[in-house]
Structure 1
Amino acid sequence: MRTVLLVEDSHTQRECLSQQLTWSGWDVIPACDGMDALEKLQGSCPDVVLLDVVMPRLDGYRACRLIKSNPETQNIPVIFLTGKEQNLAVYEGIKHAEAYVSKPWRSQELLETIKWVIVYARSKPKVNSDAAWFRHFLLNLKLIEIYLHSPGKRETHGLQILRLYEAAMKALDQTLVLNPRHLRARRYRDGVRHQYQQFRQELEQIHSCQLCYYYHGQDGINCAVHPAGPVSKWCPDWKLD
């Protein structure tokens, strides 16, 4: 079955789109924001990504750049879902995606756009080089620096920063597999691993709930998974409609 990764922070719009796509024969993988989308991509290879622009944790533009800079996901077509007021701003981001569809969307327009971007993506060459992986590393590193300089970096962005560090280290490893003599990658490798371990230790000092081992509502509603705690999607103390 054809698969679409649907990235939309609005529960109502996500459910509505999911129903429409399911009725049209698509298998839908839902994601609530850019970080969730990147995690879902690690375990799946959808035919297309529908990506909202304004989202918490990681917006659509940055998520799209990370998808397109990663040699493993670069040829998955991306369609932005934009509000009318975002259509002018989207021209800057469209260079990283294949298309965009305005909200409120028309089902036929959306389905036709999905069809042609998939055909277009099949004709694009794949680039799996040390240079491509190193560019992906630098993009992750830049985003890490943005989060690290934001207020409440540990409490509000801790898990995102860890995930970005892990993606950055994977990109460095791939760079060196393809080119063991890549000087810049070799220089970065030990330093980035040390920063990752140091940041992880800082997070482990945060006092988490003794009941569920989650900590601080990262968007005022959802608690973040504590690095030392069990892994699950949502804190069991919260019920999301």
Structure 2
Amino acid sequence: MSTVLVVEDSRSQRECISHQLSCSGLNIMQASDGVEALAQIEKKYPDLILLDIVMPRLDGYGVCSLIKAHPETRNIPVVFLTGKGQRLDLFARSMDSAEAYVSKPWLPRELLATIKKVLLHANIKFDRASADAWTEYGILNLSTIELYQSRADAWTNYSGQIIKLYDSSLAAFEQALAIEPSHSTANKYRHKVQTIRTILMKKLEQTRPCKICYYYHGKDGINCALHPGCRPQEVCRDWKFN
């Protein structure tokens, strides 16, 4: 049974699509936005990704770029869900990286037929990637960080995602160096990321999250008012609990 990851920020549309595909014999994973989609893919590689374009935090184009650049997920087919008003010609490069697209409002038969056709012709293989491929993926993660940091609320709302992207880029450069220890570009970027990440972690340590943060973090999109950029696994000294 093939597994499809449905990525859609509208809960009603996500549940509707998931129900339709599940009734057609497909195993379904769900994600409400691009960041959650990448986290789901880390846990388990799906056989196909059905990807909405307009989403909060990280849109479909950004997700698709990261998926297709990652040496271990680049062969997973992507089908875009596109709205009628979206100018596909403006995003031709991103669209070319996907295997197909389905317009909203979708027709269930068309959606299912497209997914089955793409799955039939999919050639998912996880071969050994080159040092250059891992380096390119690491650099793409850094480009995604720049998009986050350009926002006014970057560190209040996206600190967790920024740190995770730095971790992903660092891991990619280390993979490249494991394959080719003398790879100059990977070595240069690894050193750069290590330095920046150390500075950022010191910055985040200045505000330590608490159990109040742990309760609210991510729940219905609410962050703790005291520590909006919290990491919920930690307990701060501002609060004492029995």
Same fold per superposition (TM over 0.5): yes
Q: Equivalent residue of 2:56, what SS? A: coil
Q: Distance in 2 between matches of 1:10 and 1:22?
A: 18
Q: Distance in 1 between matches of 2:229 and 2:120?
A: 39
> Contact 1:52 / 1:82 at 8 angstroms: preserved in 2?
yes
- State how 1:109-128 maps to structure 2 within 5 Å: 109-122=110-123, 128=129
What is aligned with 2:148? 147
Question: Given residue 192 of structure 1, which amino acid in structure 2 is its aligned partner?
Answer: V
1:118-142 Cα distance to aligned partner (Å, 9 max, x none): 2333188957111111111110011
Q: Distance in 2 between matches of 1:204 and 1:185?
A: 28
Larger Rg: 2
> Contact 1:215 / 1:225 at 8 angstroms: preserved in 2?
no
> Contact 1:7 / 1:34 at 8 angstroms: preserved in 2?
yes
Using the TM superposition, give the Cα deviation of residue 90 of structure 1 relative to its aligned residue in structure 2, in angstroms.
4.7
1:22-72 Cα distance to aligned partner (Å, 9 max, x none): 111111110011111111111111110000000001000010000000011
Q: Distance in 2 between matches of 1:210 and 1:126?
A: 43
Stretches of structure 1 that go unaligned for 5 or more consecutive residues are 231-241
Question: Given residue 178 of structure 2, which amino acid in structure 1 is its aligned partner?
Answer: V
Report percent identity of matched pairs. 45
Q: Equivalent residue of 2:212, what SS? A: coil
1:178-217 Cα distance to aligned partner (Å, 9 max, x none): 1111011111212202212321232232364552436788
What is aligned with 2:185? 184
- State how 1:1-241 maps to structure 2 within 5 Å: 1-88=1-88, 89-122=90-123, 128-206=129-207, 208=209, 210-213=211-214, 221-223=221-223, 226-227=230-231, 229=233
1:137-168 Cα distance to aligned partner (Å, 9 max, x none): 11001111222232122101111101111110
Question: Given residue 129 of structure 2, which amino acid in structure 1 is its aligned partner?
Answer: N
> Contact 2:51 / 2:81 at 8 angstroms: preserved in 1?
yes
> Contact 1:204 / 1:227 at 8 angstroms: preserved in 2?
no
Q: Distance in 2 between matches of 1:197 and 1:228?
A: 20
Q: Distance in 1 between matches of 2:19 and 2:3?
A: 13
Q: Equivalent residue of 1:29, what SS? A: strand
Using the TM superposition, give the Cα deviation of residue 116 of structure 1 relative to its aligned residue in structure 2, in angstroms.
1.8
* Greater alpha carbon shift after TM alignment, 118-127 vs 39-48: 118-127
CA RMSD of aligned residues (A): 2.5
In 2 relative to 1, CA 215–123 (structure 1 residues): closer, same or farther, beyond 3 Å? Answer: closer
Q: Distance in 2 between matches of 1:125 and 1:163?
A: 23
Q: Distance in 2 between matches of 1:140 and 1:207?
A: 26
Q: Distance in 1 between matches of 2:105 and 2:5?
A: 19
TM-score (norm 1): 0.86
Q: Distance in 1 between matches of 2:188 and 2:11?
A: 43
> Contact 1:77 / 1:117 at 8 angstroms: preserved in 2?
yes
Q: Equivalent residue of 2:85, what SS? A: helix
In 2 relative to 1, CA 184–27 (structure 1 residues): closer, same or farther, beyond 3 Å? Answer: same
* Greater alpha carbon shift after TM alignment, 82-91 vs 15-24: 82-91
TM-score (norm 2): 0.86
Q: Distance in 2 between matches of 1:99 and 1:57?
A: 23
> Contact 1:2 / 1:47 at 8 angstroms: preserved in 2?
yes
